Amino acid sequence: MTTPEDFVRTLRGVVGDEPFVGLHVPDIAELEKQRVRECLDSTFVSSVGVFVTEFERGIADFTGAGHAIAVSNGTSALQVALELAGVGAGDDVIVPTLSFVATANAVSHAGAQPYFVDSDEETLGLSVDAVAEVLRAARSTPDGPVNAVTGRRIGAIVPMHTLGHPMRVAELVALAAEYDVPVVEDAAESLGSRVDGVHTGTSGRLGILSFNGNKILTTGGGGMILTDDDVLARRARHLTTTAKLPHRWEFEHDEVAYNYRMPNLNAALGVAQLERLPRFLADKRRLAARYQDAFADAADIEFLTEPAGTTSNYWLCAVRVSGGAARRDALLEATNDAGLQCRPFWNLLHAQAPYRRLPHAAVPVAEALHASVVCIPSSPALAAA
């Protein structure tokens, strides 16, 4: 059996001997400083400016999305995307219990309630089979399927691409179409991840990205709404910019809306990071390959690789260990003591305080994944260590 000491030694063999190695540290170079300085010099630091447009265009080109709308963070992006998909008060939204809390919070912000389902062992993402079970049991109505457990309309399905690994989104979209339920993809972690050339976040009616400081590309804080639908894109832009009607001087607004626009200052950082993204992605793949090699001989530790037929951005590298949560915690203890910042998965959402009273589906796979996965240092710069 791999001891905690062996585990630390193996990680050290890959990441080198810096006293402290973070889980995921942003890579900010001279280019970022130049762009941010340009933005400061222009005085257009807020919601109007050329960098926002340039960043949106850059993300649309990179992902192949018809439209990209820059917003303040991934959570607000998901809230607005859900509202644009028609989700509202009284609805359920199907969400994996294995996700960051923002996925469920965005559903709540949209006035709906998350209905948590299980994950898929191979992709770590939302289980298409588990979703199919919920939809098959649902009562069909003119407004859409009604969840047999909660009696609430199923307004949308939100798959998430866990740690950057693509889930089976094409299958999910086909299934959802049978029941006329929109798919809104939480691709917050998976910028750069594709299946057959199709970028994550572009298969559903809408998708979202996050550019928080710990993601593969950062704007400090920021998010993006992706959609191919011209009408939804126009609505997204309107709703995230206080629903102001265009006029040379008048302030006329035609609905209650949000101030969710990404500031130009953040977009300036994003423009520079996007230029360097291909390099980050290449570095991540090299780091992942080195971890995979390093753990190749450990029978009780499996390095998690991209699902067959997909290209992952390897946002966070992770291993799966046998022996249950006690073994996982022993490895977390030893690595963090040794200056190697390692983390478990997020605590499952169906068991967290704001959501533990809600009915949910059975989630045995998510529970097993939660008890056995350890995320390991994943900064792109480590590929050079």
Ligand X SMILES: *Cc1c(COP(=O)(O)O)cnc(C)c1O
Q: Which residues bind ligand X (CB under 6 A)?
A: 73-75, 99-100, 102-103, 160, 186, 188-189, 210, 212, 223
Q: Which residue is nearest to ligand X (CB)?
A: 74
Minimal distance, residue 211 CB to ligand X, in Å: 7
Minimal distance, residue 275 CB to ligand X, in Å: 21
Q: How many CA atoms are closer than 13 Å to the CA of 302, on its beta-carbon side?
A: 12
* Residue closer to ligand X (CB basis): 100 or 295: 100
* Residue closer to ligand X (CB basis): 145 or 223: 223
Minimal distance, residue 72 CB to ligand X, in Å: 8
* Residue closer to ligand X (CB basis): 218 or 264: 218
Burial of 309 (0-12, 13-18, 19+ CB in 10 A): exposed
CA gap 157, 127 in Å, rounded: 11
**Containing H/E element for 248?**
none
* Residue closer to ligand X (CB basis): 138 or 156: 156
CB 313 within 8 A of CB 284: yes
Minimal distance, residue 289 CB to ligand X, in Å: 24
* Residue closer to ligand X (CB basis): 150 or 214: 214
Task: Name the DSSP letter for residue 127.
Answer: -
Question: Token pair of 31, please?
Answer: 């280019």
* Residue closer to ligand X (CB basis): 88 or 213: 213
Minimal distance, residue 250 CB to ligand X, in Å: 33
Return phi, psi of residue 215, to 5°: -85, 175
* Residue closer to ligand X (CB basis): 103 or 310: 103
Minimal distance, residue 280 CB to ligand X, in Å: 16
Minimal distance, residue 222 CB to ligand X, in Å: 7
* Residue closer to ligand X (CB basis): 190 or 335: 190
Minimal distance, residue 247 CB to ligand X, in Å: 32
Angle 379-380-385 from CA coordinates, rounded to 5°:
90
Checking 233-239 for CB contacts under 8 A at 24+ apart, the result is 233/66, 233/67, 233/69, 235/84, 236/67, 236/69, 236/80, 236/81, 236/84, 236/206, 237/69, 239/80, 239/83, 239/84
Instruction: Tell me the C-alpha to C-alpha distance, in Å, between residue 383 and each of 54, 57, 165.
Output: 29, 29, 19
Angle 19-21-23 from CA coordinates, rounded to 5°:
160
Minimal distance, residue 105 CB to ligand X, in Å: 9
**Residue in the block written with tokens 């998976």:** 190
Bridge partners of 119, per DSSP, are 126
Strand stretches in 221-266, DSSP E? 223-227
Bridge partners of 225, per DSSP, are 69, 208
* Residue closer to ligand X (CB basis): 102 or 334: 102
